[in-house]
Chain A
């Protein structure tokens, strides 16, 4: 008799969601977290009078109360909808390329169209065609493609998903080039590449189309109390359902036994040497740590080595959390999300991510524009972020780490000051996180924040779910895409499949008991 039906390693978005869905689905679940708080990336910390949001910039897929979308439904199923308050951002984003252009897109599909046409009247026809394509590709990728795959019908795919077949897996840059002449317009529309970490030439058009359409129609959101509030609500829901959690408890080993074709999990060993038995393990740790360190098999399971060889390490981030003693209005900040760049050249931005050179692109997020409660009265909470690969920080001697961190932070502040002068003079609290900070708190190689590098062929269409060890499941950005919505969704999907198995086993055991009693 096992101690638990399922053990979840890591209380990040994927792990938490999986744990809640498992426990609510009837699987006796233990959640183990090495830190003292649930959330992983989705967390906050307090400095002085400020509680800083760590990672959530724009929550996608929620939809409004009137027109709810997939995430609102999921949060309802997870029992957290009445435990959190969402705050809608009024604008999609402002993009400023210094000395080139400065345009703000509203968070409305119609509003985006109007704004684009106002700014680029010569491209009106192209804008209309492009936005129609984004809408079609999104709808097809959410409905037509999964249906056709389910039916295994190429005919359905070709008939119902014409746009996806034609454009979905082309690189975003070439599609933008096909539709538009104006370089500013292309750069403006490609701004969300940073949520994938790869420049437009290296992402599938479908990913860009889905982000633009989904944020435009279902709006970008923040959470009151930060993403930590959502993480804590998920934990609360897990505990309410009878789940068991241990914080400050990391897993040393995933224990397996030989079974017919491949190894099968039998439990975990914690850092305190305790062995806990279970049928299923959901790892929210990186696949790299899961398979190369946690798993007790002497070599990588068949298939993993091949999969890993086709992967690269994804990007990390450098982030500054600022508490300012002035209002957003005093700094001229009018919307939550601003992309600031020195150049329209996304390839240069991406190349810079592998260096210690001053970043050429910075994202500024101001959390209390849409809701003043994100900062004390009269004050402001902002974050400045640039993507950066972690390896460049691993080479810095430890005794130079602190000063290097502040020097690099100064570059980001300088860039933000070009649009919003006065930020630095108003700092009341500040904390700087480097890729090594991400590594420390996420335990990911290179401090990766989105999992493996999102190469076009890392799209889930090219990948199977990891199933090389019976009972071992992966839930998190390393299974598919990074970011909040994808990791919540993969956690829920992983749990759904396991709940089915757990309940089938229980039914079978019940049958046996009844048979024995006959």
Chain B
């Protein structure tokens, strides 16, 4: 713009602006020092992938092990107690992943513990518990999820209703309260099927014994004869008896989906408001055909054709989440929560129908334009998708 016939020079202030610009050109930075900085800053908190090595394996119970992961590529990012990482695995050539809550405390910065309980017929838990050794390498997402204490509205009286593997995030949250010296009351109500299969039983008992602000209520649903503790389910009466009044308390619920649903109904019957009930998501529905609005003409065992636009097609079971069948057939789809929440696994359904359960936290415009969360989407007809 050094052109002397520039008509803009008639505008008051134009020449002064040009002068300021040239002045800055002499002294300013050309931003080459910024090279790589943005990526570096992002990676400090949210690296896209962690490269992890199993440094230790602890046997917790007959059904459960804790895997300690250390970083192969720098410092592990921080997390908030209750968050999970999505662990990638390759099992017999199938690339898949599962999210696991971190059971170690956020103040321990040199490792993450993942505590994994065997699921009946579980493809990945079986692999992890029976085929993984110390020293093995994995990749994972950085910590994610919204299941954690939020000081803006959760207050300082926390009640955690854990079922089975729900003890994993509970441990991280309790230790976080203690290790950070937070002035909070923490009450864990821990439901398990068998006395012999309670994850972190000794740890929780010790913490409750040593710290005035930690309380533990253990409940067993299938007790052995002569068991003297509380038995049954975490119903309204049991919860009320354990914690006293429910007002001002925030309830965290984490366990298998039926456990979560039952606890939610019990808390609501006690008058606990929505905002004081935080439920961790827990995978796709196991029996989608039992849910409301399932199209009655199809059964979970039916097979449909899935066409991935421009790439290929394969047969899939109606009752298997679309993400899983995509992975099984070699299609790589980004994913993390695998429970309908994070939306990383969005795909667009161009033709055909899928069933979206209530777990699918779809955006309004996703519904308008046919985008679904493949981790909880079930193809109920032949479909064609794009992603």
Contact = CB atoms under 8 A, between A and B. Distances in A.
A399 B346 contact: no
B150 to A, nearest CB: 6
A322 B37 CA distance: 31
Contact of B13 (A170, A289, A406, A431): A170
Contacts of A247: 334, 346, 387
B18 A398 contact: no
A248 B152 CA distance: 32
Contacts of B28: 308-312
Contacts of B151: 403, 406
A430 B343 contact: no
Interface string B103-119: 00011010000000000
B346 A308 contact: no
A250 to B, nearest CB: 9
Contacts, number: 196
Interface string A293-323: 1000000100011101111100000000000
A306 B7 contact: no
Contacts of B36: 293
A431 to B, nearest CB: 8
Interface residues of B, number: 66
Interface stretch (B199-207, B260-268, B320-328, B357-365): B357-365
A453 to B, nearest CB: 11
Contact of A456 (B17, B32, B107, B334): B17
Nearest to A293: B35
A157 B27 CA distance: 33
Interface in A410-440: 410, 413, 424, 427-432, 436, 439-440
Nearest to A245: B386
Interface string B207-249: 0000000000000000000000000000000000000000000
Given A228-B363, A308-B31, A430 B152 contact: yes
A308 B45 contact: no
B73 to A, nearest CB: 15
Contact of B78 (A167, A401, A444, A462): A401
B267 to A, nearest CB: 15
Interface string B272-310: 011100000000000000000000000000000000000
A37 B29 contact: no
Interface in B350-369: 361-366, 368-369
Contact of B343 (A36, A148, A226, A461): A36
Contacts of A456: 13, 17, 20
B17 A325 contact: no
B38 interface: yes
A506 to B, nearest CB: 24
A232 to B, nearest CB: 4
A142 to B, nearest CB: 15
B30 A309 contact: yes
Contacts of B20: 455-457
Contacts of B106: 399
A376 to B, nearest CB: 10
Given A51-B363, A293-B35, A300-B30, A225 B21 contact: no
B298 to A, nearest CB: 27
A445 interface: yes
Given A46-B362, A402-B80, A445-B34, A462 B42 contact: no
Contact of A305 (B5, B24, B30): B30
A439 B41 contact: yes
Given A325-B274, A399-B78, A445-B31, A310 B17 contact: no
A457 B45 CA distance: 35
A354 interface: no
B33 to A, nearest CB: 9
A357 B293 CA distance: 52
Interface stretch (A1-9, A97-105, A158-166, A339-347): A158-166
Contacts of B22: 310
Given A229-B364, A325-B273, A439-B38, A309 B343 contact: no
A424 B10 CA distance: 54
A420 B129 CA distance: 53
Contacts of A48: 274
A233 B7 contact: no
A403 B152 CA distance: 10
Nearest to A231: B365
A503 interface: no
Interface string B84-126: 0000000000000000000000110100000000000000000
29 contacts: A36-B343, A37-B343, A46-B343, A51-B364, A154-B7, A165-B11, A171-B13, A229-B364, A232-B369, A236-B369, A288-B38, A292-B31, A292-B32, A293-B39, A304-B30, A305-B30, A306-B25, A309-B24, A310-B21, A325-B273, A398-B77, A402-B78, A436-B45, A439-B41, A443-B39, A456-B17, A461-B8, A461-B17, A462-B18
Interface of B: 1, 5, 7-14, 17-18, 20-22, 24-32, 34-39, 41-42, 44-46, 77-78, 80, 106-107, 109, 146, 150-153, 273-275, 334, 341, 343-346, 361-366, 368-369, 371, 386-387
Lowest 4 CB-CB distances: which A-B pairs, in order? Answer: A309-B28, A169-B13, A225-B364, A427-B153
Interface of A: 36-37, 44-48, 51, 83, 148-149, 152-154, 157-158, 164-171, 204, 224-226, 228-229, 231-233, 235-236, 239, 247-248, 288-289, 292-293, 300, 304-306, 308-312, 325, 394, 398-399, 401-403, 406, 409-410, 413, 424, 427-432, 436, 439-440, 443-445, 455-457, 459, 461-462, 464
Given A36-B345, A154-B10, A292-B32, 20 more contacts: A48-B274, A171-B13, A225-B368, A229-B368, A231-B365, A288-B34, A292-B35, A293-B36, A309-B27, A310-B25, A325-B274, A398-B45, A398-B77, A399-B106, A399-B107, A401-B45, A430-B153, A443-B39, A444-B38, A462-B18
